[in-house]
């Protein structure tokens, strides 16, 4: 696995209602959340257009990303609004992981070097890395901003023009006029463009749906866990555009909180109906087949 580059992640919050999916499926990649202590993939609940997972307090977890394309893909990944490689507050222009065609990889922690991570674990929001570094506004969300790669540029050469010098002069005049027109139609300077570009800011938790008030237990966040060995190498990646080609967002909290918020339906387990509930099952060892 390689990482490179630069990208931005818009973080937000959402609402209620629910369907269970195997993973967050996008056009460019699939994203799954893995409980590393059990090895199981966490069910993905779909609620009013948003993906949710129920984290188990104390459990280590990873973000599994699968490149669905036949070309390289850059995944700028943020947890709780923080870039998982650099530790900066999440932005599209930051570094990310580069996936080869069809490649999958588990991002299992905050990257400390090309050889080490600090494991992700579900913990109380007050103990999260975001809270401990003074950035609690976006605790409870995982984001993956996906970028396509710009195809390599092929140098082309115009055939030598053997026309007369006079014709060449006329041609040069035409080209000069075209260049002058292009200059007049040119976009504003980089400083002007930056001034007019949309500004990024932290998205504050929404209170319109009173979601936080419905949660009976402390909200979950992601901690800065034990150091683990994890090797990557640097590479370069020329993005097709400065904005992501796709963003996948997954929100998370404890199972109890998701039930309280209406994201996960509360259905107590029921045994299969028995037509003879008062009749006891056999209490002795049955004969083997054949007597």
129 domain residue, yes or no: yes
Q: How confident is the model over 264-281, as a mean pLDDT? A: 62
Tell me how far apart the alpha carbons of residues 120 and 223 are, in angstroms, rounded to a whole number.
6
Separation of alpha carbons 24 and 250, rounded Å: 8
Helix (H, G, I), strand (E, B) or coil at 162: coil
| Domain assignment present for 283 | no
What's the confidence (pLDDT) of residue 190? 39
In whole angstroms, what is the distance from residue 65 CA to residue 51 CA?
15
Segment (H or E) for 169: helix 165-185
Residues of the domain holding 12: 2-151+210-260
> 28 is written with which tokens?
């460019």
Residues 207-236, mean pLDDT to the nearest whole number: 79
pLDDT for 13: 24
pLDDT at 117 (0 to 100): 97
Domain count, the chain: 1
Mean pLDDT, rounded, for 57-71: 96
Residue 104 has a CB neighbour count (10 Å cut-off) of 15
Q: What integer pLDDT is reported at residue 200 of this predicted model?
A: 25
Q: Is residue 251 part of a domain?
A: yes
Confidence at residue 23, expressed as pLDDT on a 0 to 100 scale = 55
Least confident among 60-74, 182-196, 238-252: 182-196
Count of other CB atoms within 10 angstroms of residue 227: 14
Q: Exposed/middle/buried for 44, CB within 10 Å: 0-12, 13-18, 19+?
A: buried
Residue 291 lies in a domain: no
- Would 106 be classed as within a structural domain? yes
Q: What is the pLDDT of residue 264?
A: 85
H or E element that contains 143: strand 141-148
99 belongs to a structural domain: yes
Each residue's pLDDT tens digit, 133-143: 999 999 999 99
The mean pLDDT of 271-282, rounded to a whole number, is 62
Query: Which tokens go with 212?
Result: 């936080």
The residue-averaged pLDDT of 62-87 equals 96
Residues 108 and 225: beta-carbon distance below 8 Å: no
DSSP assignment string, 203-260: PPPP-TT-HHHH-SSPPEEEEEEEEEE---EE----BS-SS-SEEEEEEEEEHHHHHH
Q: How confident is the model at residue 155 (pLDDT cuts 50, 70, 90)?
A: low
């Amino acid at each position: 696995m390689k990482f490179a580059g630069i990208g931005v992640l818009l973080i937000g919050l959402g609402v209620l209602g629910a369907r269970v999916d195997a993973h967050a499926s996008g056009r460019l990649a699939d994203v799954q959340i893995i409980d590393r202590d059990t090895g199981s993939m966490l069910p993905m609940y779909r609620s009013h257009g948003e993906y949710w997972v129920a984290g188990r307090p104390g459990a280590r977890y990873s973000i599994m990303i699968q490149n669905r394309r036949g070309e390289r893909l850059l995944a700028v990944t943020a947890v709780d609004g923080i870039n998982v490689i650099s530790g900066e507050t999440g932005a599209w222009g930051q570094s990310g992981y580069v996936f080869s065609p069809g490649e999958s990889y588990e991002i299992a922690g905050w990257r400390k070097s090309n050889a080490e991570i600090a494991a992700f674990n579900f913990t109380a929001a007050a103990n999260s890395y975001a809270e401990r570094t003074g950035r609690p506004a976006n605790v409870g969300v995982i984001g993956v901003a996906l970028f396509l790669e710009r195809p390599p540029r092929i140098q082309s050469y115009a055939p030598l023009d053997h026309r007369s010098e006079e014709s060449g002069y006329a041609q040069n005049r035409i080209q000069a006029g075209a260049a002058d027109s292009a200059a007049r139609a040119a976009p504003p300077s980089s400083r002007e463009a930056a001034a007019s570009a949309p500004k990024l800011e932290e998205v504050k938790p929404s209170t319109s749906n009173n979601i936080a008030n419905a949660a009976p237990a402390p909200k979950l966040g992601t901690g800065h866990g034990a150091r683990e060995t994890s090797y990557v190498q640097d590479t370069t990646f020329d993005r097709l555009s400065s904005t992501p080609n796709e963003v996948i967002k997954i929100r998370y909290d404890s199972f109890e909180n998701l039930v309280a918020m209406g994201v996960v339906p509360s259905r107590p387990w029921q045994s299969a109906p028995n037509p003879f509930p008062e009749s006891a099952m056999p209490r002795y060892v049955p004969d083997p087949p054949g007597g």
